Structure 1
Amino acid sequence: MFIQISTDNQVDSDNIRDARLEEQIRQRLARFEERITDVEVHVSDPQGREGGNGELRCTLEARMTGLHPVAVHEEGTSVDRAVLGAAKKAARALDHQLGKLEGRRTG
């Protein structure tokens, strides 16, 4: 499973943080590792540096072999919160999508 983390120009890039987040995403999506080919994570600051509520937005897209990609969004007050929240949402969405697929096969 290939994981790519990127940020917009309003969010500081940090290689150490990104490596830690990549490992945590891997852990949260581990049960799908056989099916996921790649995960794209993008963190942005929709309010920009001008102020706003300090919320960052994370969009996470997981691509699986033979299925449509799963995309989720999460907001958080830090990059870590936004990314980890999105990873949790992605795991639930993947469970749901694969559960529907299994239901079709057995039903």
Structure 2
Amino acid sequence: MQVQFNTDKTVEGHQRMQHHFSEVIAESFKRFEDKITRVEVHLGDENNEKFGVDDKRCMIEVRLSGKNPLAVTNHANTVEKSISGAIDKMKKVLTTTFEKLKMHS
């Protein structure tokens, strides 16, 4: 499973952070890995340099083989929390999606 990070100009894309969260994502989505071709993580700060509550945004888009991509967005006060929240949301979306597909096949 390929994990790709994209950051806007206000978020520093530290290699160590990307490596850590790539491993967390791979582990979190492990049971779906045969169905996922790529995971794209988009990070941004919606207030740029200004202080704001929950202004760090993480959007995770999962590309599935033979299906439309799935995407979730999470806002938090730190990049790390926004990523963790988006991972949790995506796990729920993937679980629901594949349970529905099982019921209809």
TM value normalised by structure 1: 0.92
Contact 1:41 1:58 in 2 (8 A): yes
1:4 aligned residue: 4
Contact 2:53 2:76 in 1 (8 A): no
Instruction: Give structure 1 stretches of 5+ with no counterpart.
Output: none
Q: Give the letter aligned to residue 93 of structure 1.
A: V
- Structure 1, 35-44 or 94-103: larger mean CA deviation: 94-103
1:56 aligned residue: 56
2:98 aligned residue: 98
- Structure 1, 52-61 or 84-93: larger mean CA deviation: 52-61
Secondary structure of the corresponding residue to residue 50 of structure 1? coil
Percentage of identical aligned residues: 31
1:26 aligns with 2:26: yes
1:81 aligned residue: 81
1:16 aligned residue: 16
RMSD: 1.1
TM value normalised by structure 2: 0.94
Instruction: Give structure 2 stretches of 5+ with no counterpart.
Output: none
| Corresponding pairs, count | 105
Q: Give the letter aligned to residue 71 of structure 1.
A: A
Q: Distance in 2 between matches of 1:52 and 1:95?
A: 32
Contact 1:57 1:75 in 2 (8 A): yes
Q: Distance in 2 between matches of 1:54 and 1:96?
A: 27
Q: Distance in 2 between matches of 1:52 and 1:80?
A: 16
Contact 1:61 1:69 in 2 (8 A): yes
